[in-house]
Amino acid sequence: MPLPDLLAVFAHPDDEALVAGGVLAQHAASGARTGVVTATWSTDSHRAAELAESVEILGAGTPRMLGHADAQVPESAPGRARLLDVPLDEVVGQVVAHVREFRPDLLVTHDAYGQLTGHPDHVHTHRVALLAAHAAGLAHLYPEAGEPWRPRAVCLATHPDSGITELGPLLSRVGKRLLSVPDDQVDATVDVQPWLDEKWAAILAHRSEVARERSLPGILSRCPADTRRRIISTEYFTRIDLRRAPGGGRSLAL
């Protein structure tokens, strides 16, 4: 039986593989429809090609790129404004259009911290995705973006305090922050070991990031294989229900 259809909304190419690659592969393997919206980098950049390879490996179709510039890499989208500088209403409307076209059961995005390191594009994408998830279900908002559709839930990819024991020191060593959440704020802990080969291949598809010393793909590529496997074999989510489950209950399963 297929798992719920899932649309991921992330800031950068490689976010889809790093924080939800296992869940994307799991849902696709079950027969669910999966897709990825990426807020930054232009469609003619080298990272767009890497993203296309990654989402193909994960079974998530073709990239859906908004094409805005990365906050820290102006050349990521020449002539385009940084994601952070684009009017909020405009970006929300772009994501609403993808939600209404895809009609997912679940929308997956960054948590409020913007994952462990708090990248400003991650934080902003979190806010945009939450607004879009609500707006997509309201007929009088963005009527030009298609027929209304509200996902069943938004799942925020996150890291609990207890889940960063091995990854934390690796990030601290290169001067990155660690923004984890209390364990009781994690609603779903997903063992993605059966899809680990796909997840790791999707991470490696982002070759330009693997080559960088301080990027997470680069850090993971230099880890002992056993350490890397333990780090990437579990994915964590906080679930925000947008529709009530039958009988008014609250389901925590992805």
Predicted confidence (pLDDT) at residue 251 exceeds the cutoff of 70: no
Within-domain flag for 1:
no
Residue 158 vs residue 243, higher pLDDT: 158
Give the three-state DSSP class for 238. Answer: strand
Please tell me the total count of domains within the chain: 1
By percentage, how much of the chain surpasses pLDDT 70? Answer: 96
Report yes or no on 254 lying in a domain.
no
Distance CA 65, CA 43 (A): 7
Q: What is the pLDDT of residues 147-186, one digit of tens each?
A: 999 999 999 999 999 999 999 899 999 988 899 999 999 9
Among 102, 100, 123, 104, smallest CA distance to 113 is for: 123
pLDDT in tens, 43-88: 999 999 999 999 999 999 999 999 999 999 999 999 999 999 999 9
Query: Within a domain: residue 119?
Result: yes
Residue 41, in any domain of the structure: yes
- Which pLDDT value is given to residue 240? 97
Tell me whether strands 153-158 and 234-241 are parallel, antiparallel or unpaired.
antiparallel
Q: Is residue 85 part of a domain?
A: yes
CATH of the domain at 70: 3.40.50.10320
Q: What is the pLDDT of residue 1?
A: 80
Domain that holds residue 17: 6-248
pLDDT at 253: 53
